[in-house]
Amino acid sequence: MFTSEMRESIKKVEATRKERMATEPRRMTAEEKDALLKAYHPDYRADGFAEIKVGPNKGQKAPRELTELLHSNSRLLKDKVDLSKVDYETDVLVIGGGGAGSSAAIEANEAGADVMIVTKLRIGDANTMMAEGGIQAADKENDSPVQHYLDAFGGGHFAARPELLRRLVMEAPDAIRWLNELGVMFDKDEDGRMVTTHGGGTSRKRMHACKDYSGAEIMRNLRDEVLNRKIPVIEFTSAVELIKDDKGQVAGAVLLNMETGDYLVAKAKTVVIATGGAGRLHYQNFPTSNHYGATADGLILGYRAGAPLLYQDTIQYHPTGVAYPSQIFGALVTEKVRSLGAMLVNKDGEAYAHPLETRDVSASAIIRECANGKGVETPLGSGVWLDTPMIEILGGEGTIEKRIPAMFRMYLNYGIDMRKEPILVYPTLHYQNGGLEIGGEGFTKAIGNLLVAGEAVGGIHGRNRLMGNSLLDIIVFGRNAGKAAAKKAKEVELGSMNLDHIDAYAKELEAAGIETGAVSPLLLPKYARHER
The CB-of-370 to ligand MEZ minimum distance in angstroms stands at 20
Contact segment (CB under 6 A) with ligand MEZ among 220-228, 236-244, 331-339, 363-371 equals 331-339
For 130, what's the count of Cα atoms within 13 Å in the CB-facing half-sphere?
21
The CB-of-335 to ligand MEZ minimum distance in angstroms stands at 3
> Residue 223 or residue 461: which is nearer to ligand MEZ going by CB?
461
Query: For residue 392, which phi and psi values (nearest 5 degrees)?
Result: -70, -35
The CA distance from 118 to 237, in Å, is 6
Contact segment (CB under 6 A) with ligand MEZ among 58-66, 392-400, 440-448, 466-474 equals 466-474
468 binds ligand MEZ (CB under 6 A): yes
Exposed (0-12), middle (13-18) or buried (19+): which is 178, by Cβ within 10 Å?
A: middle
Contact segment (CB under 6 A) with ligand MEZ among 141-149, 251-259, 404-412, 467-475 equals 467-475
Contact segment (CB under 6 A) with ligand MEZ among 118-126, 249-257, 333-341, 475-483 equals 333-341
Contact segment (CB under 6 A) with ligand MEZ among 16-24, 131-139, 247-255, 390-398 equals 131-139
> Residue 305 or residue 471: which is nearer to ligand MEZ going by CB?
471
Strands 450-452 and 263-273: parallel
Q: Give the residue, chosen from 91, 107, 125, 132, that forms a contact with ligand MEZ under the rule CB under 6 A.
A: 132
> Residue 125 or residue 132: which is nearer to ligand MEZ going by CB?
132
User: Is 198 among the catalytic positions?
Assistant: no
For 66, what's the count of Cα atoms within 13 Å in the CB-facing half-sphere?
33
The CB-of-428 to ligand MEZ minimum distance in angstroms stands at 10
455 binds ligand MEZ (CB under 6 A): no
Number of residues that bind ligand MEZ (CB under 6 A): 10
Task: Report the residue number whose CB is nearest to ligand MEZ.
Answer: 133
358 binds ligand MEZ (CB under 6 A): no
Element (H, E) at 275: none
131 binds ligand MEZ (CB under 6 A): yes
The CB-of-43 to ligand MEZ minimum distance in angstroms stands at 17
The CA distance from 287 to 427, in Å, is 8
Pair 99, 222: CB distance under 8 Å: yes
Q: Which of residues 395-454 bind ligand MEZ (CB under 6 A)?
A: none
Q: Which of residues 6-65 bind ligand MEZ (CB under 6 A)?
A: none
> Residue 91 or residue 132: which is nearer to ligand MEZ going by CB?
132
133 binds ligand MEZ (CB under 6 A): yes
Annotated active-site residue in 71, 223, 282, 338: 338
Q: Give the residue, chosen from 65, 217, 297, 335, that forms a contact with ligand MEZ under the rule CB under 6 A.
A: 335
The CA distance from 430 to 513, in Å, is 33
User: Is 291 among the catalytic positions?
Assistant: no
DSSP class per residue in 88-122:
EEEEEEEE--SHHHHHHHHHHHHTT--EEEE-SS-
Pair 288, 343: CB distance under 8 Å: no
Contact segment (CB under 6 A) with ligand MEZ among 28-36, 127-135, 218-226, 524-532 equals 127-135
Pair 383, 426: CB distance under 8 Å: yes
> Residue 289 or residue 346: which is nearer to ligand MEZ going by CB?
289
Contact segment (CB under 6 A) with ligand MEZ among 16-24, 96-104, 109-117, 129-137 equals 129-137
467 binds ligand MEZ (CB under 6 A): yes
- For 342, the 3-state DSSP assignment is coil
Strand partners, 270: 92
The CB-of-189 to ligand MEZ minimum distance in angstroms stands at 21
> Residue 63 or residue 134: which is nearer to ligand MEZ going by CB?
134
Q: Give the residue, chosen from 42, 48, 98, 134, that forms a contact with ligand MEZ under the rule CB under 6 A.
A: 134
DSSP class per residue in 352-400:
-S-TTS-HHHHHHHHHHHHHTT-SEEETTEEEEEEETHHHHHHH-TTHH
At a CB cut-off of 8 Å and minimum separation 6, what does 63 contact?
A: 48, 49, 50, 281, 283, 284, 312, 313, 315
Neighbour tally for 46: CB within 10 Å:
7
> Residue 106 or residue 363: which is nearer to ligand MEZ going by CB?
363
Element (H, E) at 344: strand 343-345
The CA distance from 523 to 275, in Å, is 10
The CB-of-467 to ligand MEZ minimum distance in angstroms stands at 4
> Residue 171 or residue 335: which is nearer to ligand MEZ going by CB?
335
334 binds ligand MEZ (CB under 6 A): yes
Query: For residue 467, which phi and psi values (nearest 5 degrees)?
Result: -50, 140
The CB-of-420 to ligand MEZ minimum distance in angstroms stands at 22
At a CB cut-off of 8 Å and minimum separation 6, what does 207 contact?
A: 133, 134, 135, 136, 196, 197, 198, 199, 336, 339, 467, 468
462 binds ligand MEZ (CB under 6 A): no
> Residue 106 or residue 386: which is nearer to ligand MEZ going by CB?
386
* Chain Cα centroid distance, residue 215: 11
The CA distance from 96 to 78, in Å, is 25
Q: Which of residues 65-84 bind ligand MEZ (CB under 6 A)?
A: none
> Residue 67 or residue 128: which is nearer to ligand MEZ going by CB?
128
HEC string of 154-214 equals HHCCCCCCHHHHHHHHHCHHHHHHHHHHHCCCCCECCCCCECEECCCCCCCCCEECCCCCH
156 binds ligand MEZ (CB under 6 A): no
The CB-of-131 to ligand MEZ minimum distance in angstroms stands at 5
At a CB cut-off of 8 Å and minimum separation 6, what does 530 contact?
A: 524
For 241, what's the count of Cα atoms within 13 Å in the CB-facing half-sphere?
27
Residues with a known catalytic role: 318, 338
Residues that bind ligand MEZ (CB under 6 A): 131-134, 334-336, 467-468, 470
